[in-house]
Amino acid sequence: MYVCLCNAISDKTVREAVRRYQPKSIQQLRQLIPVGKQCGKCIRAAREIMEEEMKNPPLYKEIA
């Protein structure tokens, strides 16, 4: 599902960025992917996905 239509960012992209880089705020997430850079309507959905992913930390750390 698309979260940000302006920049064609899907929920999968948001989840992957959160899992990989573990941003602590929506501002940090916005530095990683261009979510909320145009109209801003996707910020709420991106924040909800980020919070959901942060509740379930990865079981392992990537090594490379």
What was the pLDDT predicted at 25? Answer: 94
Longest dimension (CA), the chain: 37
Which sequence spans correspond to the domains of the chain?
Answer: 2-55
What was the pLDDT predicted at 58? Answer: 65
Query: Is the CATH code 1.10.10.1100 the one for domain 2-55?
Result: yes
What was the pLDDT predicted at 59? Answer: 66
| Euclidean distance between CA atoms 44 and 3, whole angstroms | 9
| Euclidean distance between CA atoms 18 and 23, whole angstroms | 6
pLDDT along the chain (64 residues), means of 10: 95 94 94 92 95 80 61
3-state secondary structure of 3: strand
